[in-house]
């Protein structure tokens, strides 16, 4: 499965966002927080006046960074949201938050979305008792996600659970125990992983 493998910190600094919010990284070690300006020799002194197109492009790039999307995936999500006939911006959020990897992250089984995607790809979870390893699979209400028993006391998950203990779990996810959760509804009132003007993203693809 294709994914972006370039320098994420430089990308985050160029977009003006803190990578620590996405990566589970220690904020004290996050250069996007220590250096809140674009990368490069002239970054600290560079003044950028964005055009309307530039603003739309920026918001689209932030969406791709937040949800680990490639260009064709982002375009497809926006097109689907527009076809629903409902509020397209809200539908973009719903479509993305239904993803298997996003659910795993939101439920507190990973410190970052990138880690959640890797854990899903490695087959660490089951869906309604069946094998599942597709991060982009959309989960509907009623689905039960379980961490496989052999990982219950694995050092990696012990560390994850300790680091995300204070994370607030959204209302459409119900924890059934330390190693299992159920999707109880649609993700209608969830804040994006980063502050993003979704209407600008829609305008970009108009």
Domain boundaries, the chain: 8-96+192-204, 99-183
Superfamily the domain 99-183 falls into: RNA-binding S4 domain (3.10.290.10)
What pLDDT band is residue 127 in, cutting at 50, 70 and 90?
A: very high
What pLDDT band is residue 189 in, cutting at 50, 70 and 90?
A: confident
Burial of 199 (0-12, 13-18, 19+ CB in 10 A): middle
pLDDT at 37: 54
Q: Is the model's pLDDT at 157 over the cut of 60?
A: yes
pLDDT at 3: 64
Please give the average per-residue pLDDT across 91-115, as a whole number: 96
In the chain the first and final C-alpha atoms are separated, in Å, by 28
Q: How far is CA 205 from the centre of its chain?
A: 21
Query: Residue 204 and residue 206: Cα distance in Å, rounded?
Result: 6
Global pTM reads: 0.83
> Tokens 């039960």 label which residue?
144
> Tokens 């969406």 label which residue?
63
Low-confidence winner among 15-19, 28-32, 174-178 (lowest mean pLDDT): 28-32
The backbone torsions φ and ψ at residue 117, rounded to the nearest 5 degrees and listed phi first, read -60, -45
DSSP code of 28? G
pLDDT at 26: 54
Which CATH fold would you assign to the domain 8-96+192-204? Ribosomal Protein S4 Delta 41; Chain A, domain 1 (1.10.1050)
Please give the average per-residue pLDDT across 100-105, as a whole number: 97
Q: Is the model's pLDDT at 57 over the cut of 60?
A: yes
Which one has a higher pLDDT value, 64 or 46? 64
What pLDDT band is residue 195 in, cutting at 50, 70 and 90?
A: confident
């Amino acid at each position: 499965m294709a994914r972006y493998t370039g320098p994420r910190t430089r990308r985050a600094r160029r977009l003006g966002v803190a990578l620590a919010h996405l990566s589970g990284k220690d904020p004290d070690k996050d250069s996007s927080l220590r250096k809140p300006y674009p990368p490069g020799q002239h970054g600290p002194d560079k003044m950028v006046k964005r055009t309307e197109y530039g603003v739309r492009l920026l918001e689209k790039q932030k969406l791709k960074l937040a949800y680990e999307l490639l260009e064709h995936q982002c375009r497809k999500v926006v097109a689907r949201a527009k076809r629903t006939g409902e509020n397209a911006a809200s539908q973009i959020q719903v479509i993305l938050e239904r993803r298997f990897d996003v659910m795993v992250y939101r439920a507190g089984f990973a410190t970052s979305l990138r880690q959640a995607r890797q854990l899903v790809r490695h087959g660490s979870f089951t869906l309604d008792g069946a094998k599942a390893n597709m991060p982009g699979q959309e989960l509907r209400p009623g689905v039960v996600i379980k961490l496989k028993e052999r990982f219950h006391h694995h050092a990696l998950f012990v560390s994850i659970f300790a680091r995300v203990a204070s994370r607030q779990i959204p209302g459409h996810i119900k924890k059934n125990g330390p190693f299992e959760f159920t999707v109880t509804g649609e993700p209608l009132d969830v804040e994006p992983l980063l502050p993003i003007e979704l209407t600008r993203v829609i305008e970009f693809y108009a």
